[in-house]
Structure 1
Amino acid sequence: MDGVSISPIKSESTAALIARKLREMISDGSFAPGQQLFEVELAKRFGVSRGILREAMQRLTQEGLLISRPNRGVFVAEFGPAEVFDIYTARLAVERAACLKVIDVLGAGEQLADQLDALTDRLEGLLAGEASDYELLSLDIEFHECMVRAAKSTRLSRMHATLATESRMSSAVLDERDYPLSDRIEEHREIAEAIREKNVPNLHRLLAEHMDRAVETIVRRLDPEGVSAQA
């Protein structure tokens, strides 16, 4: 972890803030899947007590982002095909619920569609430039986070935050040749249009197909022999 840059955090910071910082670092790849996290070193780098850090790590362990192994330590979670399928199944349920609330309860489908189109325009602009893979992936997932935020549901947002981090971790294996970003951009535009038109059945179908394709390409990378054996 010598190459990881961590800014000291003020002593008044809470365990929730430390957990958020750790979640961000797991999400952006500063801590790789399977990497061990050392309590003493992290507490020193963050400038907090070991007790606060331990509480923060326990929060992420409960979320499934960290794994505590008796007599060995705490490690960043690693996801196999079954976990990836479960992550995206849960994401689909949360995002569908959020969109339904936006359309049917809040009546804000058109406003959300405008926001989603703007994010897709930004993603398309980055694709034409020299953005990093992480920047592209982050804006790709921001599209989905925007849908959930629009529902103004604390609980849906809280659930989706962990799922989005897990998705970023899982999506690190994606190859542009397997699932071109241009395809994802087109799918995002179709999803936004379904929201604008309040076409819920079509929205459900488009979200499911979008998630299914991501799962298929990730799992193929994780277990190519398993995928071919099932074909």
Structure 2
Amino acid sequence: MIGIRDLEVAYEQDIALKQLNMSVPAGATCAVIGPSGCGKTTLLYALAGLVRPQSGEIAIAGAPLSGLRQGTGLILQDYGLLPWKTVYDNLAFPLKARGGAGAEVNDRVGAMLAALGLESLGHRLPGELSGGQKQRVAIGRTLVLEPDLLLMDEASSALDALTKERIQDLVLEAHKARGFTLVVVTHNIEEAAFLGQRIFIMSQGRITSVLENPHFGEADFRDHPSFFELRQRIRRHLYEAN
């Protein structure tokens, strides 16, 4: 699904990504983790087509990436909701922007509200929602377009621990149901361990190591010793890289 070769991105004299290589199979999930300033958000924006690299190649679904891509969904840290539109209208907006209308939009938005447990909140504005509810709306607004690639930038960083886990569970359930490829950028070790089948450790614009998660998606994974062991491996690699 994703193939990156020798990618370099610079902001004036500041090199954000340096000869970066990465691959993610179709339908798989990966977590990209590293300290602030290591280049992980730049990598995500490059995958979204929002940042133009100075050199190197990005291919998604076998095609070179040259800009914004219709099948890619992006969920930002600040949710990106339209504050003057209701929850229903926030979900309907991207469908209408692509020419959807009438019963089709209503059916898809209604199904998404039900899937997210937001049926009773469709009439509310974002300012009337909790952080977890806003995050569910942001996820729904992206998933309603049925992307084959979902990119998430620190998507649960502002939430309390319990709400964070519920959002992670929701993302995992959506991935299992829909089969999209998922890239999660995070600085949270637990989130990387839970959502990543493959975990990329970043430091100073490069991927320094890749960890496999053979227990990804197992029932009650957070309660297993293997989850603790994976967290320790991630932590050790982060220390070694930085």
Q: Which has the larger radius of gyration?
A: 1
In the superposition, the TM-score normalised over structure 2's length comes to: 0.29
- TM-score w.r.t. the length of structure 1 is 0.30
Task: Flag the structure with higher strand content.
Answer: 2
Q: Which has the higher contact order (CA 8 A, sep 6+)?
A: 2
Higher helix fraction (1 or 2): 1
